[in-house]
Structure 1
Amino acid sequence: MTAVRPGDIEGLLRRGPDPRIAVILVYGPDTGLVAERARRLAESAVADPSDPFALVKLDGDTLAGDPGRLVDEAGTVGLFGGQRAIWVRPGSRNYAPAVEAVLKAELAATRIVVEAGDLAKSAPLRALCERSQRALALPCYPDDARTLAELIDSRLQDEGLRIARDAREVFVASLGGDRRASLGEIEKLALYARGRGEITLEDVEAIASDVSGSALNALIDAAFAGQAGETERSYRRFQTEGMDASVMLGAGLRHVLTLLTVRLEGDGKSPSQLVANWRGLHFRRQKIVEIQLARWSPDGLRRAVTRLQEAVLACRRADADFAHSIASDVFLRLALEASRRA
């Protein structure tokens, strides 16, 4: 079994995986962390990540329709030789047969990185990679306070900065559960404090925003709390302001994945207890999030995850007007389902 423990992943990324490993599956509820680690693994395998012959990007749904394509791509020799990498992006269809085929093939000098969503233990893709001696399965869960503190110190050190202890504690508390959003906040703080040497509490209070308290929360909270009228009004406002449909769906997807993680990790606890233990949740959202946790079961949240994932993919292939039709319909359906659960 080659599932990697969460605490061992950063060390593996620093030293690099065993070259005998053919496939690396990166999955989990933190979509930002999944995307970041998949990118690092894919780009670190080649000399020039911008070379499309060295780093090939494939869509999971493409492989579902043509399982043999992954083997063909992996067996292709680079134009100028050297190590190659294939980065498989998430899909809504089952493409485990394509990965199974490539694990059976004898291929050299090719690293295959598979970026996936939150896979259950029984999911074919996860089960396949955890069983194979030629694959690694890397789970990505939302950062805890210790991991966030280490991330802050590491990224700021890269910029020649350090942060005071009290400032770090406040900054950690302001960050949400998505790695991509947290990195954005760290970069913003580093830019603000460039040249100062040490970041103080005043710097953090001046620049840091509550990542989990974005403007989109009005729409997302209304939908998952069953407020159909407010959901429709919020969506129209963001559409009028020119916000991309897939961005709104992506924010909704991150939120429902966080809800699911909180429900599963707090099994047996009441919604109020879950909210009390939710690190980074803005106090103004606590009441409405408590309503959401009371109305949505883990199975219902999993179905919502699937619905949002499919909508994101559909929006990427549609024009702007049709994408908004898809997204608004999904949010309204979620709101209606939540209202029925009241």
Structure 2
Amino acid sequence: MDEAGTVGLFGGQRSIWVRPGSRNYAPAVDAALKAEIAGARIVVEAGDLAKSAPLRTLCEKSTRALALPCYADDERALAELIDRTLQENGQRIAREARDILAMSLGGDRRASLSEIEKLALYARGQTEITLDDVEAVISDVAGSVLNTLIDAAFVGRGEEVERDYRRFRHEGMDPSMMLGSALRHALTLLSTRITGEGQSPSMMVGNWRGLHFRRKAIVEAQLGRWSPVALRHAVQLLQEAVLACRRAQPDLAHAHASATLLRIATEAARRRG
């Protein structure tokens, strides 16, 4: 509200870009919608909000706000994007290579396009792009940057967890975001273990949709190490930690998050073999 009410030094229309953090800022948005604000446009970047989310409800009901949904690219959209971008460069891609490439891309259109263009530049002069080209160039864009931290925790590498957590904290990453990613991973592990009952970890990994091929070995190790009962306990720990982080001050929130991830790493290490 203070920023929205500030008069710009050089005048003219101003834009205020708000990104979500760990605190609930819906009341501030509500106050902005009720106030008489001149010369400022407020853009709020939010995540995947439920219909009942206060922020979404406020903006959809107000005549002074507009909610703009941004849908992530699905497999079909990614395939079309790959073919169209490469065709513009006079290239085509082998079917197997395209499937692997699509698995390595996420819902962010800009990031996906950047990776495809990088691949096209790498294979410049070739009429067809092969799987070897894809593996040589493409990074796991779909996978969170947190994959290294989460995989280290669930496979029992405590030193790597400490190192990666310090790095992400230094980069300003929100602790509840790190825990949220770990929680989603734990839930996916649990679902895979339950639906794949009686199967070997390698077979279960084969049924894990969207898993990047470079992560298959480490996720297979996790599936072999964690039982459904243990995963349910890990899910409970992570849920409690997420709630604690949202209620705590930043420094204490980081203490909750790092302690929980290290606890999971210790449990995973105990289950080695």
User: What's the TM-score, normalizing by structure 1?
Assistant: 0.52
User: Which digits, 9 at most, give the CA deviation of each residue in 1:4-31, with x for residues without a partner?
Assistant: xxxxxxxxxxxxxxxxxxxxxxxxxxxx
Question: CA 1:329–1:253 in 2, change beyond 3 Å: closer, same or farther?
Answer: closer
Are 1:256 and 2:185 matched, yes or no?
no
The answer for unaligned runs of 5 or more in structure 2 is 198-203
Which residue in 2 is equivalent to 1:69?
A: 2
Shift of 1:302: 5.3
AA aligned to 2:209 is W
Question: CA 1:168–1:281 in 2, change beyond 3 Å: closer, same or farther?
Answer: closer
| Counterpart pick for 1:147 among 77, 80, 91 | 77
CA distance in 2, matches of 1:117, 1:219: 22
AA aligned to 1:200 is I
| Counterpart pick for 1:122 among 35, 52, 58 | 52
| Contact persistence 1:252–1:308 (CA under 8 A) | no
Which residue in 1 is equivalent to 2:209?
A: 278
How many residues get paired?
250
AA aligned to 1:280 is L
| Counterpart pick for 2:129 among 200, 203, 206 | 200
1:1-342 alignment to 2 at 5 Å?
A: 68-73=1-6, 76=7, 79-81=10-12, 83-107=13-37, 110-139=40-69, 143-153=73-83, 160=89, 162-164=91-93, 166=95, 167-175=97-105, 182=112, 185-193=115-123, 195-196=124-125, 198=127, 200-201=129-130, 202-211=132-141, 217=147, 219-223=149-153, 225=154, 230-236=156-162, 238=164, 243-246=167-170, 252=178, 255-256=181-182, 258-259=184-185, 270-272=194-196, 276-282=207-213, 283-284=216-217, 285-286=219-220, 288=222, 294=228, 295-296=231-232, 314=250, 328-335=258-265
CA distance in 2, matches of 1:170, 1:257: 26
CA distance in 2, matches of 1:293, 1:140: 37
Question: CA 1:71–1:85 in 2, change beyond 3 Å: closer, same or farther?
Answer: closer
CA distance in 1, matches of 2:128, 2:179: 33
CA distance in 2, matches of 1:261, 1:156: 36
CA distance in 2, matches of 1:306, 1:178: 28
SS of residue in 1 equivalent to 2:43: strand
AA aligned to 2:169 is A
Question: CA 1:271–1:248 in 2, change beyond 3 Å: closer, same or farther?
Answer: farther
AA aligned to 2:159 is R
CA distance in 1, matches of 2:140, 2:24: 36
User: What's the TM-score, normalizing by structure 2?
Assistant: 0.63
| Contact persistence 1:174–1:211 (CA under 8 A) | yes
User: Which digits, 9 at most, give the CA deviation of each residue in 1:93-130, with x for residues without a partner?
Assistant: 22212211222234455432112345444332222123
The answer for unaligned runs of 5 or more in structure 1 is 1-67
Higher relative contact order (CA 8 A, sep 6+): 1
Shift of 1:88: 0.7
Question: CA 1:236–1:101 in 2, change beyond 3 Å: closer, same or farther?
Answer: closer
| Contact persistence 1:175–1:212 (CA under 8 A) | yes
Shift of 1:206: 2.7
CA distance in 1, matches of 2:268, 2:60: 35
Which residue in 2 is equivalent to 1:61?
A: none
SS of residue in 2 equivalent to 1:279: coil
CA distance in 2, matches of 1:216, 1:198: 35
| Contact persistence 2:79–2:98 (CA under 8 A) | yes
Greater gyration radius = 2
